[in-house]
Structure 1
Amino acid sequence: MILGKVFTALLDALLFSIAFVVLKCTWTLYKNYTNPLWRLKGPPRGSFFWGNVREMWTGHNLTDCISQYGRAHTEAEFFGRPNLVISDTKAVAHVVFHANDYPKDEAMKYDLSELVGPGVLVVEGEEHKRQILIRRQNPAFGNAHVKELVPTFFDKALELRELLVQECASNPSGYHTNALDWMTKVTLDIIGLAGFGYNFHALDPNVEKTDLQRAFDAASDSAATPFRMIQAKIPFFRLFPTANTSVVREAQRCMDRIGARLLSDAKSMVALGDKASSGGRDMFSLLVRANTSSDLPDHQKLSDRDVMSQVPTFFVAGHETTSASLVWMLYALTLAPHIQKKLRQELQAVSTDTPSFDELNALPYLDAVLRETLRLHAPVSATERVATKEDILPLSEPIEDRRGKMLDGIRVQAGDIIIISMLGMNIDPAIWGADAHEFKPERWMAPKAGVTASIPGVWSNMMSFWGGARGCVGFRFSIAEAKALAFILFRAFEFELAVKHEELTSEQLIVQKPYLANDMAAGPQLPVIIRSAIP
């Protein structure tokens, strides 16, 4: 009798759960397919499950869709959920300057947290304000401290130059190599020393990878799997562990152990204060110093766990983005030998191998080449946000919807996903002119006043470092590092693409990287031929 009642209760609970799930799914699908965003133009929705997702993974280009469907259009995600894609500067500015109303969506936070933990790249609201306040008050992110780090940039750049000189001497017809591999190693060494006071020795062929490097590599590789992307978008699939799940967890534990050790060392250095004769000037130590300052109220201070979470954050922001920028600069200059030659002439006219921070910034063509690289090849080409309430996104100019009605704003509902195409703004002919798709550094030598003022970026009126309250606080570090490395490399070597440029494609995982289209399994790469150009 009792067993019968228990069985009946369990059966009722199961049926209720099934009914709830069915109703929930039905309601979700109804909302997806009746969402007002479908009034906007866009590509065909694709299949029921995939929507336009597979096209995006297999070479679908947001900028092509922007050209065809406009600066505000709709694409389909899983189960017909609409994504609003925008590159309209007024709409983007509205999202950027109302960051609390448009945080990162849950899928993006899940993906980032798997890689970097609960750092400033992931958290939102008051927690983000608290973490960003500490970082903005940190002198490590100001020009004064970046100037002090320039010698570190040059030390590693010169070490790389010597290695490449040796390789070129052994290969008189040209040294064939993967440029991405070298850029990854040198920027890893730089962020290790400048970021944590931690020497990776990545450029030393006789030194094996460190535990932190292996941990981050493992976590990064796991981010590239299609199933991981599905897990990010559809939480139900996170219930199913994969081989990569254990890899990610072990990588996170390793980063936690190393972060704890770095924190302990930094605290010891800070405690010594003026008694410390050297060290303690890396960004992480300065962050710890700022966080323990007596001038900072206790409620604004970060916990040890929060401080430790900045280790992988620094790693991503200070390593992945700069290496990607340099690789794309190499790519662009191999396609434009005359620009590469002009840049080399400017660099070789400098009388020293190690110019100062101010001398680097006084090189106009180097500055123009870097700006043009980040315009055409932004390391992060697009990002996602989610609306937390009903709102209207204003538009810089009206658009026509599927019914032929002109709209001067787009109504969004709570839960709507918004994809911001930074690259779409960076190559918009309406902003940059008819030659917007061309690599043309000269456009920066005498820029038209006010042409790009509508783009709300923190640097050079581009979105390459985002904008507003969530703008990249380390952009000065990244720019100075890229300039120092470019100065040494293009002064000493000539670079030629080792494959036809049509054979290359790109994918964005953490950042946008080049791949060989017929050998995606080999991972990101940029095959080049390097020859000495030392006078």
Structure 2
Amino acid sequence: RLIVSDTKAIAHILQDVTNYKKPPSLQYHLTRMVGSGVLVVEGEQHRKQRRIMNPAFGNLYVKELSPVFMEKSLELRDIWAQECASRSDGIYRTDAVTWLSKLTLDIIGRAGFNYDFHAMEPHAEHDELQEAFSTIFGAGSAVFRILQGHVPLLRLVPTQAQRAITKAKKTMNDIAGRLLAEAKQIQSATGEKLWDARDMLSLLVRSNTSPEVPENQRMSDEEVMSQIPTFFVAGHETTATALAWMLFALTRAPHVQQKLRNELLSVPTSTPSFDELNALPYLDAVVRETLRLHSPVTTTSRISTQDDILPLSKPITDRKGNVHDSIAVGKGTQISIPILAMNVDPEIWGEDADEFKPERWENLPTAVSSLPGVWGNMMSFLGGARACIGYRFSLAETKAIVFTLVRAFEFELAVRHEDIISRSYVVQRPYLASDLDTAQLPVIIRPVSGS
């Protein structure tokens, strides 16, 4: 097993998708959760799916979805405002993870596949698709899940969690089939063009049936349906986690929170456009710094399918004193890419690499440019041909939510910051050290004066 932290070597690995593929253990975990979607498949199948899906995740269409992000963010703002108003001290104590998860679930439902979860409605019952997603992403012991990834025989053990996942997948596939049928029916009945689509699934259907795509290059219905969990991961799971860590960081740095709020309050509207949000430099810096310091996905791995030579940006000296500017990698070598470690490496970011300082983005160290990330000179969305396809969607969603909530409320941690720890299974979430069963971030919310 090889842990690679050299930027030139990582760039080589991420670009060479033919030789470096996801190892069987990671393939198992991802397939278990999202099926055979673009996050999982390899080779020509991946290139085909990605080519057809690219329009749905491009800036042009994400920009069209911006009103959905704002509408749902304002809905949560109003709910929190009512909660504060109903209390004698005007303060609302709650778990941010729960609410942010509900918010991003409603957003991905509407923007992803024209589906209403109604997750933020009072006394809302669990939707069957929401229940299926929750089961697939959370069922079973974390230790046993990891062992299943490395010991295939354990996957045959008929556990209660495995039965729950099988049932959840059937539910998800049934609903995905209905959503796909509805999207295809609307397209057939209205003759809508590619950019008339109202959600990413509809856009994907139109893109897949475009005359520009040869019949033998189109996705099957099963492949299209398997992208719905991909939308879910891109717009819900990772985004809600990043937002929770952002609130955590802002509660620990009140001066940053206030500086950000001042910039947001300078905007004369509560519903800025996609372009107006992207024109806010400190908001952009806070988002970048959060994703750098609290990357939802902390590591990824690859396995070499043939012998190779990894180039190095800095020569290394072996035990015998020999200097090397490359490393030989044998076929079958497991390689770990430490995403979070690269994001906080002092040799790249400076001695204050582990500090939350949005101002660093005004003048980055030269070494940062060597990181092969697809966005923001960081590894949080990876890089190369398998970089996160949904990063533009996630960033636009994140900025809309942060703009709305930080503009309206002051946030304070309801526990000591030392009581919050991170635990990771696919994504790293905040937990109370005294309660490792459920991800949570207890916060105190106060309305901003005059808001």
TM-score by length of 1: 0.81
What CA distance in whole angstroms lies between the structure 2 residues aligned with 1:113 and 1:273? Answer: 35
User: 2:240 maps to what in 1?
Assistant: 323
Question: Is 1:454 equivalent to 2:370 in the alignment?
Answer: yes
344 and 289 in structure 1: CA distance in 2 versus 1, 3 angstrom threshold: same
User: 1:159 maps to what in 2?
Assistant: 75
Of residues 198-207 and 258-267 in structure 1, the stretch that sits farther from structure 2 once superposed is 198-207
324 and 306 in structure 1: CA distance in 2 versus 1, 3 angstrom threshold: same
Contact 1:318-1:474 at 8 Å conserved across structures: yes
- CA drift at 1:424: 1.4
Question: Is 1:526 equivalent to 2:417 in the alignment?
Answer: no
Question: Is 1:121 equivalent to 2:36 in the alignment?
Answer: no
Question: Is 1:376 equivalent to 2:376 in the alignment?
Answer: no
239 and 170 in structure 1: CA distance in 2 versus 1, 3 angstrom threshold: same
- CA drift at 1:479: 0.6
Tell me the amino acid that sits aligned with residue 219 of structure 1.
I
Q: Give matches, 1:457-472, under 5 Å.
A: 457-472=373-388
SS in structure 2 at match of 1:531: strand
For structure 2, the 5+ residue unaligned runs are: none
- CA drift at 1:174: 2.5
What CA distance in whole angstroms lies between the structure 2 residues aligned with 1:148 and 1:236? Answer: 47
Contact 1:269-1:280 at 8 Å conserved across structures: no
* 1:251-276, Cα deviation, whole Å (9 max, x unpaired): 11111101100110010111123479
504 and 404 in structure 1: CA distance in 2 versus 1, 3 angstrom threshold: farther
Identify the match of residue 280 of structure 2 among 363, 373, 378.
363
Question: Is 1:490 equivalent to 2:406 in the alignment?
Answer: yes
- CA drift at 1:432: 1.1
* 1:74-95, Cα deviation, whole Å (9 max, x unpaired): xxxxxxxxx2112211111110
495 and 224 in structure 1: CA distance in 2 versus 1, 3 angstrom threshold: farther
* 1:101-157, Cα deviation, whole Å (9 max, x unpaired): 111111101011111111111111111111111112x2x222222121111111100
Query: How much is the aligned-residue C-alpha RMSD, in angstroms?
Result: 1.7
481 and 275 in structure 1: CA distance in 2 versus 1, 3 angstrom threshold: closer
- CA drift at 1:345: 0.6
382 and 223 in structure 1: CA distance in 2 versus 1, 3 angstrom threshold: farther
User: 1:416 maps to what in 2?
Assistant: 333
Identify the match of residue 354 of structure 1 among 266, 271, 279.
271
- CA drift at 1:223: 5.7
SS in structure 1 at match of 2:378: coil
What CA distance in whole angstroms lies between the structure 1 residues aligned with 2:286 and 2:43? Answer: 36
User: 2:210 maps to what in 1?
Assistant: 293
User: 1:58 maps to what in 2?
Assistant: none
What CA distance in whole angstroms lies between the structure 2 residues aligned with 1:199 and 1:223? Answer: 28
- CA drift at 1:427: 0.9
- CA drift at 1:368: 0.4
Of residues 253-262 and 145-154 in structure 1, the stretch that sits farther from structure 2 once superposed is 145-154
Contact 2:339-2:380 at 8 Å conserved across structures: yes
SS in structure 2 at match of 1:419: strand
- CA drift at 1:451: 3.7
- CA drift at 1:510: 2.5
SS in structure 2 at match of 1:452: helix
What CA distance in whole angstroms lies between the structure 2 residues aligned with 1:409 and 1:130? Answer: 33
User: 1:195 maps to what in 2?
Assistant: 112
Contact 1:497-1:528 at 8 Å conserved across structures: yes
357 and 534 in structure 1: CA distance in 2 versus 1, 3 angstrom threshold: farther
Question: Is 1:135 equivalent to 2:53 in the alignment?
Answer: yes
SS in structure 1 at match of 2:20: coil
User: 1:260 maps to what in 2?
Assistant: 177
Identify the match of residue 516 of structure 1 among 411, 432, 435.
432
Question: Is 1:245 equivalent to 2:138 in the alignment?
Answer: no
What CA distance in whole angstroms lies between the structure 2 residues aligned with 1:402 and 1:161? Answer: 59
What CA distance in whole angstroms lies between the structure 1 residues aligned with 2:192 and 2:53? Answer: 25
- CA drift at 1:446: 3.6
Identify the match of residue 334 of structure 1 among 238, 251, 260.
251
Contact 2:374-2:381 at 8 Å conserved across structures: yes
Identify the match of residue 14 of structure 2 among 96, 114, 139.
96
What CA distance in whole angstroms lies between the structure 1 residues aligned with 2:221 and 2:376? Answer: 35
Of residues 470-479 and 390-399 in structure 1, the stretch that sits farther from structure 2 once superposed is 390-399
What CA distance in whole angstroms lies between the structure 1 residues aligned with 2:230 and 2:410? Answer: 34
User: 1:231 maps to what in 2?
Assistant: 148
What CA distance in whole angstroms lies between the structure 1 residues aligned with 2:139 and 2:302? Answer: 23
Contact 2:431-2:440 at 8 Å conserved across structures: yes
- CA drift at 1:492: 0.5
User: 1:217 maps to what in 2?
Assistant: 134
SS in structure 1 at match of 2:240: helix
Identify the match of residue 475 of structure 1 among 364, 388, 391.
391
- Larger RCO (CA within 8 A; separation ≥ 6): 2
Bigger radius of gyration among the two: 1
Contact 1:147-1:357 at 8 Å conserved across structures: yes
Contact 1:150-1:356 at 8 Å conserved across structures: yes
Contact 2:113-2:201 at 8 Å conserved across structures: yes
What CA distance in whole angstroms lies between the structure 2 residues aligned with 1:299 and 1:229? Answer: 37
Question: Is 1:108 equivalent to 2:26 in the alignment?
Answer: yes
Contact 1:197-1:280 at 8 Å conserved across structures: no
SS in structure 2 at match of 1:529: strand
Tell me the amino acid that sits aligned with residue 106 of structure 1.
P
User: 1:74 maps to what in 2?
Assistant: none
Tell me the amino acid that sits aligned with residue 15 of structure 2.
F
Question: Is 1:271 equivalent to 2:197 in the alignment?
Answer: no
88 and 275 in structure 1: CA distance in 2 versus 1, 3 angstrom threshold: closer
User: 1:309 maps to what in 2?
Assistant: 226
Identical residues among aligned pairs (%): 55
- CA drift at 1:228: 1.5
Contact 2:349-2:364 at 8 Å conserved across structures: no
User: 1:63 maps to what in 2?
Assistant: none
What CA distance in whole angstroms lies between the structure 2 residues aligned with 1:142 and 1:337? Answer: 35
Contact 1:505-1:516 at 8 Å conserved across structures: yes
Aligned residue-pair number: 448
